[in-house]
Structure 1
Amino acid sequence: MAQHFLLSAQARTLSLASIYKAGEDAAYGTFCKMRWAETEGAPVCPRCGGLRHYDVKGRRRFKCAACAHQFSVTSGTIFASRKMAFVDLCAAICISVNAVKGVSALQLGRDIDCQYKTAFVLAHKIREALASEVEGMQLAGEVEVDGAYFGGKVRPANHKEDRRDRRKAENQNGERRVVIALRERDGSTKTFVTNTEAEGVALAVENVSAEATVFADEAKHWDALHSRFPAVGRINHSESYVTEEANTNQAESYFSRLRRMVDGQHHHVSARYLYQYAAEAAWKENNRRLPNGDAFRRTLSLAMGSPVSRQWKGYWERSQP
């Protein structure tokens, strides 16, 4: 019997120990190579694109010789205005990609020795970078469409006579949401958070190629897919999970990972930020056979290519609506 890839040495190409052993200068060099891959780490002015620069003495900053603009390796990226050491940022990304079902902010804070607030924002910035990989992407080929409910669980009353039917909307707490997954078979996954699963029809029409073959379960709202796509496969889960004609197993596999992430690692996820956890689980599911060193470099490359986060920059300094 062949050995599973994740059990092989090829899956382990980066370790936390190697990051700290290499030190701060090596971590900084890694950031430069990911930010300016076209020039092999040589600085490029983000304002005018100039290649000539001066080093700012005593600081890891540069001054463009053409426009006199000062910048650093993280200027204009999701890590702009960072105060954490580069080696700790590399360690945080390594921990994140190694945690295949996510890592809580409390655990991340203990691992890299920082406050909970710092770890919380850093983890969300990494999730935002991962989500950018499929932004604007149109799915094609064979695409599975499905939805799953998350959150909104209400603790039952102590006495039986006080208990209510928690399946009814009036007895819920308003935190219940649906994660819609549009997953290419052996391809990319796009996720959305909605109030009802029926909203997934419009999302599928918008984000899936009109020539794609779509697979869904027996829920009635998916009937509308037949008029939008040339080929639609349906599976009735009350009768079987897989037939020769259709299944939604890959979408269900994604939901299994997300449920274990939410229930086992985070224990509670606010409906306000569920979309970021959903995107993180989708990225990890898509790249589950990627060596962790490659996953680290891809994540850092996405972070260096992502603009300043308008949601997470200064998150704790401003009043939240």
Structure 2
Amino acid sequence: MAQHFLLSAAARTLSLRTIYKDGEEAAYAKFCEMRWPETNGDAICPDCGCCETYKITTRRKFKCKACSRQFSVTSGTIFASRKMAFVDLLAAICITVNAAKGVSMVQLSRDLDCQYKTAFVLAHKLREAMASEVQTGAMLQGHIEIDGAYFGGHIRPENHKADRKDRRLKEHQNGRRRVVVVMRERHGRTLPIVTMSEADGVVLANENVDRMATMSADEASHWDMLHNGWNVDRVNHSEVYSDHGKHTNWAESYFSRLRRMVVGQHHHVSPQYLHQYANQAAWLEDNRRKDNGALAFGLVQNAMGCPVSRAWKGYWQKVA
């Protein structure tokens, strides 16, 4: 039997040992190359677009010959105003892409020897970079599987059976329960969206799925509305998970990764940030066949193309 790609040496093209052996200058050069790939790492002014710049080597900055602006390789990106060394940033990215089910912030802070809140904010910035690739706004095409799964809002039952309430009723819920609706192309993109009810997936499908596509869904009654716009295969999960090619196994595979990420690594995810974890799981799922070097440098390139984070800039100063 042929060896799985992820078990082969070809899947391991980057390691923490290599990152720290190459050192800070090599990591800095890689960030420059990812920021300005069209000039092989030579600086381009983010204000006027001029390619002629001076190097201020003592401070790792550049000065534009045209507009005299000083800037760095991370100016205007999601890593703007960073204090962490480039070799540590690259190591954090390597750790993140190597973790198929995510990594806890306590573990990341220990690996990088930084504060918990530093690792927390850095990880969320990386998730924003992943989201820029997942949430492209392009319509889904081909054959689409759609499904939903609920996360959060768990209410512990009372100790005594006589004191327990029906937690299915709205008045006995805490309002923190959310559903992730995923629309996944077979052999293509994964698009997750966080909403309040799985039935909202019909509206989301109208906004994100091409009318020439075909779809698969389970037996839930709210998916009946999909038949008004698409040719939909339905599978009754109470009887079978796959019926002559009719299934939602690709969507279930995504939820398996996300569920294990939330339960096994993070243990608790706030509804405020659930969409970022959903996007991370989608990015990992869509890029699962790539080697870890391609994943790491692809994520660096995404981060270098993302603007300054509105949610995480000045997060601890409450100016977001």
Q: Give the ranges of 4+ consecutive aligned residues of structure 1 lying more than 2 Å apart after TM superposition.
A: none
- The AA in structure 2 aligned to 1:145 is I
**How far apart are residue 197 of structure 1 and its match?**
0.3
Structure 2 segments unaligned to the other structure (5+ residues): none
- The AA in structure 2 aligned to 1:70 is Q
Q: Distance in 1 between matches of 2:57 and 2:10?
A: 41
The 5-angstrom pairing of residues 222-261 of structure 1 reads 222-229=223-230, 231-261=231-261
CA contact (8 A) 1:144 1:214 kept: yes
Cα 1:214–1:6, aligned 2, differ >3 Å: closer, same or farther?
A: same
Q: Distance in 2 between matches of 1:192 and 1:237?
A: 23
CA contact (8 A) 2:313 2:319 kept: no
Q: CA RMSD in A?
A: 1.0
Q: Secondary structure at the match of 2:253?
A: helix
Alpha-carbon displacement from aligned partner over 1:99-136 (angstroms, at most 9, x marks no partner)? 00001111111100110111000000000100110321
Cα 1:289–1:61, aligned 2, differ >3 Å: closer, same or farther?
A: same
Q: Distance in 1 between matches of 2:110 and 2:245?
A: 49
The corresponding residue for 1:152 is: 153
The corresponding residue for 2:33 is: 33
The 5-angstrom pairing of residues 291-310 of structure 1 reads 291-310=291-310
The corresponding residue for 2:197 is: 196
**How far apart are residue 56 of structure 1 and its match?**
2.2
The corresponding residue for 2:76 is: 76
CA contact (8 A) 2:53 2:63 kept: yes
Alpha-carbon displacement from aligned partner over 1:258-300 (angstroms, at most 9, x marks no partner)? 0000000000000110000000001111111110011111111
Q: Distance in 1 between matches of 2:5 and 2:245?
A: 29
The corresponding residue for 2:214 is: 213
**How far apart are residue 169 of structure 1 and its match?**
1.9
The 5-angstrom pairing of residues 255-270 of structure 1 reads 255-270=255-270
In the alignment of these two chains, the number of paired residues is 319
The corresponding residue for 2:51 is: 51
Q: Distance in 2 between matches of 1:263 and 1:167?
A: 21
Q: Distance in 2 between matches of 1:315 and 1:137?
A: 30
**How far apart are residue 319 of structure 1 and its match?**
6.3
Give the percent of matched residue pairs that are identical in Structure 1 and Structure 2. 66
| TM superposition score normalised by structure 2 | 0.98
The 5-angstrom pairing of residues 82-231 of structure 1 reads 82-134=82-134, 135-229=136-230, 231=231
- The AA in structure 2 aligned to 1:213 is T
| TM superposition score normalised by structure 1 | 0.97
Q: Distance in 1 between matches of 2:283 and 2:170?
A: 32
Cα 1:57–1:242, aligned 2, differ >3 Å: closer, same or farther?
A: closer
Q: Distance in 2 between matches of 1:299 and 1:57?
A: 26
The corresponding residue for 1:9 is: 9
Q: Distance in 2 between matches of 1:157 and 1:112?
A: 41
- The AA in structure 2 aligned to 1:221 is H
Q: Distance in 2 between matches of 1:126 and 1:233?
A: 36
Q: Distance in 2 between matches of 1:173 and 1:319?
A: 28
Alpha-carbon displacement from aligned partner over 1:143-199 (angstroms, at most 9, x marks no partner)? 111000000111111111111122222212111100010100011111110000011
